């Protein structure tokens, strides 16, 4: 905190009893701007602590303990600003909109979106540049960002497959059908033809997406099944020639070290009678539990999801035509509706990835409308040539 400057040699004052005492620097009184800033910090710390406590109510075990520990840390920061403010803490100030929005999501949803937003908030803490915040507080905020990133990653992994299908399918439907509608309209055909083309594009694209996702997931499951070890060693081991057998090669091919593979062969052949490293001892070769974070899902479920996601995006560009609009007005409305949808999907991607929602939304918008604009120009060329 700033201090009043003191002269190196103060003039003597023999008329006072303090003339022999050097002047002591006194802390400067906080300015009105300082008080306002500290009160805002105090409100935000309280709100963030409440967010972590609300999230903890919907968690169990380790995740709950982590969230409560974060809330306790925010409480320490709150105490720091209370100590600085003293009697000037006054009536509790309203937290920032971001903190209040996080609190609303935490109380009503408790989803991964809250952690993603909290991660971004922790990463933008002003404490590192604020002279009134301690170095420990600034370091806390940096560590909190990594803690929240770890918690958010668990949620991101749980919905990674579904989220990928949703974003990819919806955006594909939005962009491809808008491009189709724009290209057909630019070629000069009637609005009814544009509408029928859009409906055909919706059905054809959704069927293609569903079939492609079905084949993709079914193929992935077949590949995983082909790589999973069988239990043939259990049946074949007793019949193998003790002197010459290839059981060792099986375990080496599975990635075991030579020592571990020899140990496993000896156990399978019933030849082991020594007290060896217990980590090499035979464990039941049961199928590994499927990781819930990396679950492949069913082929039919993936196909249906992709069909619906694509159709939900592809129907947006033809809504104006379905409601009777025609010509340029219908195209403008279609472009606006698709633009809003692209901004929304891009913003969601930004939120979940802990980056700027606006940047990601604008990126989606530029790509989608850019593709539609190119197709519109091609439609104009096609219409001119044919006409």
> What is the rounded CA–CA span in Å between residue 118 and residue 43?
16
The pLDDT, as a whole number, for residue 232 is 55
Q: Which residues pair with 3 in a beta bridge?
A: 27
The pLDDT, as a whole number, for residue 7 is 43
The pLDDT, as a whole number, for residue 97 is 73
The pLDDT, as a whole number, for residue 6 is 43
> What is the rounded CA–CA span in Å between residue 372 and residue 177?
9
C-beta separation of 21 from 6 below 8 A: no
C-beta separation of 379 from 184 below 8 A: yes
What count of residues does the chain have? 387
C-beta separation of 373 from 217 below 8 A: no
C-beta separation of 260 from 252 below 8 A: no
CA distances from 181 to 264, 322, 324, 381 (A): 64, 13, 15, 15
User: Which two tokens mark 35?
Assistant: 């008080």
49-56's contacts with Cβ under 8 Å and 24+ in sequence apart are 49/74, 49/75, 49/78, 50/103, 50/106, 51/99, 51/102, 51/103, 51/106, 51/114, 51/118, 52/118, 54/103, 54/106, 54/107, 54/110, 55/106, 55/110, 55/114, 55/115
> What is the rounded CA–CA span in Å between residue 373 and residue 186?
10
User: Which two tokens mark 149?
Assistant: 């990133």
The pLDDT, as a whole number, for residue 109 is 64
The pLDDT, as a whole number, for residue 269 is 65
Q: What is the DSSP string of 219-280?
A: HHHHHHHHHS--SHHHHHGGGS-SSS--HHHHHHHTT--HHHHHHHHHHHTT---S---GGG
The pLDDT, as a whole number, for residue 382 is 80
The pLDDT, as a whole number, for residue 228 is 60
The pLDDT, as a whole number, for residue 301 is 76
**SS3 track for 57-122:** HCCCHHHHHHHHHHHHHHHHHHHHHHHHHHHHHCCCCCCCHHHHHHHHHHHHCCCHHHHHHHHHHH
Stated pTM of the model = 0.57
**387 residues of the chain, pLDDT tens digit each:** 444 444 444 444 444 444 444 455 555 677 888 888 888 888 888 888 888 888 888 788 888 889 899 999 999 999 999 888 888 877 667 777 777 777 777 676 656 777 777 777 777 788 988 889 998 898 888 888 888 888 877 666 665 556 666 777 888 899 999 999 999 988 888 889 999 999 999 999 889 888 887 887 778 777 766 656 555 555 555 555 545 456 677 777 777 777 777 777 777 666 555 555 555 554 544 444 444 434 445 778 778 888 888 999 999 999 999 998 888 899 999 999 999 999 988 887 777 666 677 888 899 899 989 998 999 898 888 876 655
C-beta separation of 141 from 122 below 8 A: yes
3-class secondary-structure state, position 3: strand
For the purposes of burial, counting CB atoms within 10 Å of the CB of 225, is it exposed (0-12), middle (13-18) or buried (19 or more)?
exposed
Alpha helices in 280-326 (DSSP H): 299-314, 319-322
C-beta separation of 45 from 103 below 8 A: no
Provide φ and ψ at 12, rounded to 5°: -70, 150
Provide φ and ψ at 290, rounded to 5°: -70, 130
135-141's contacts with Cβ under 8 Å and 24+ in sequence apart are 137/77, 137/80, 140/73, 140/76, 140/77
């Amino acid at each position: 905190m700033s201090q009043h400057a003191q002269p190196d040699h103060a003039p003597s004052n023999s008329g006072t009893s303090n003339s022999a005492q050097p002047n002591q620097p006194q802390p400067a009184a906080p300015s009105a701007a300082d008080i306002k800033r500290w009160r805002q910090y105090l409100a935000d710390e309280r709100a963030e602590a409440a967010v972590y406590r609300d999230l903890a109510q919907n968690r169990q075990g380790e995740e709950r303990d982590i969230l409560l520990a974060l809330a306790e840390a925010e409480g320490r920061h709150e105490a720091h600003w209370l100590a600085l403010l003293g009697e000037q803490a006054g009536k509790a100030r309203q937290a920032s909109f971001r903190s209040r929005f996080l609190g609303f999501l935490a109380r009503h949803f408790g989803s991964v979106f809250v952690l993603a937003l909290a991660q971004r908030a922790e990463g933008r803490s002003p404490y590192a540049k604020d002279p009134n915040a301690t170095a420990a507080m600034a370091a806390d905020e940096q560590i909190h960002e990594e803690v929240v990133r770890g918690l958010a990653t668990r949620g991101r992994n749980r919905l990674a497959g579904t989220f990928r299908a949703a974003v990819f399918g919806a955006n594909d439907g939005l962009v491809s059908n808008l491009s189709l509608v724009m290209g057909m309209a630019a070629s000069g055909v009637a609005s009814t033809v544009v509408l029928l083309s859009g409906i055909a594009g919706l059905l054809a694209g959704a069927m293609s997406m569903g079939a492609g996702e079905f084949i993709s997931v079914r193929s992935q499951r077949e590949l995983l099944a082909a790589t999973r070890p069988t239990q043939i060693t259990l049946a074949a081991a007793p019949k193998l020639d003790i002197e010459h057998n290839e059981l060792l090669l099986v375990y080496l091919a599975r990635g075991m070290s030579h020592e571990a593979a020899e140990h496993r062969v000896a156990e399978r052949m019933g030849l082991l009678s020594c007290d060896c490293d217990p980590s090499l001892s035979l464990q039941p070769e049961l199928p590994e539990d499927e990781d819930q974070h990396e679950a492949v899902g069913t082929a039919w479920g993936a196909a249906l999801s992709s069909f619906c996601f694509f159709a939900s995006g592809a129907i947006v560009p033809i809504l104006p035509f379905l409601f009777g609009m025609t010509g340029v007005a219908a195209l403008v409305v279609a472009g606006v509706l698709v633009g809003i949808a692209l901004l929304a999907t891009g913003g969601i991607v930004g939120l979940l990835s802990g980056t700027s929602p606006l940047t990601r939304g604008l990126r989606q918008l530029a790509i989608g409308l850019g593709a539609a604009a190119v197709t519109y120009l091609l439609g104009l060329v096609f219409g001119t040539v044919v006409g």
